[in-house]
Amino acid sequence: MAALHDISLPEDLFAAMKHAAEAEQRSVDDVLADAVRRYLDEHSWQELFAYGAERAKSLGLQDADVDRLIAESRANHRGQ
């Protein structure tokens, strides 16, 4: 595990995190690691959604097209 240096948090945020960690009988390090993992997961999802939106835009697709395209795809897979 890597040791981190020069990380600073507002006092109230650190106190709330410490309180939550104590309530769950976990270390502050564990709570912080979970928070970073969740942030990175969310960031990955946001990148994926942005890619999907850009791809749909480049193909000229609208939200209203989704149901029709799913139905067409399912029909094509059943017919194979």
Q: Specify if 5 maps to a domain.
A: no
- Domain range for 54 is 25-78
Q: Is the dihedral of CA 12, 17, 18, 23 positive or negative?
A: positive
The most confident of 6-10, 23-27, 29-33, 67-71, by mean pLDDT: 23-27
Query: What is d(CA 11, CA 73) in angstroms, rounded to the nearest whole number?
Result: 53
Q: Specify if 9 maps to a domain.
A: no
Summarised one tens digit per residue, pLDDT across range 41-80 is 999 999 999 999 999 999 999 988 889 989 989 998 887 6
Q: Specify if 19 maps to a domain.
A: no
Q: Specify if 55 maps to a domain.
A: yes
Question: Residue 4 — pLDDT band, cuts 50, 70, 90?
Answer: low
* Amino acid letter, 45: W
- When pLDDT is averaged across residues 16-33 and rounded to a whole number, the result is 94
- Is the pTM for the entire model greater than 0.75? no
Residues 4 and 14 sit within 8 Å (Cβ to Cβ): no
User: Considering its fold, how many domains does the chain have in total?
Assistant: 1
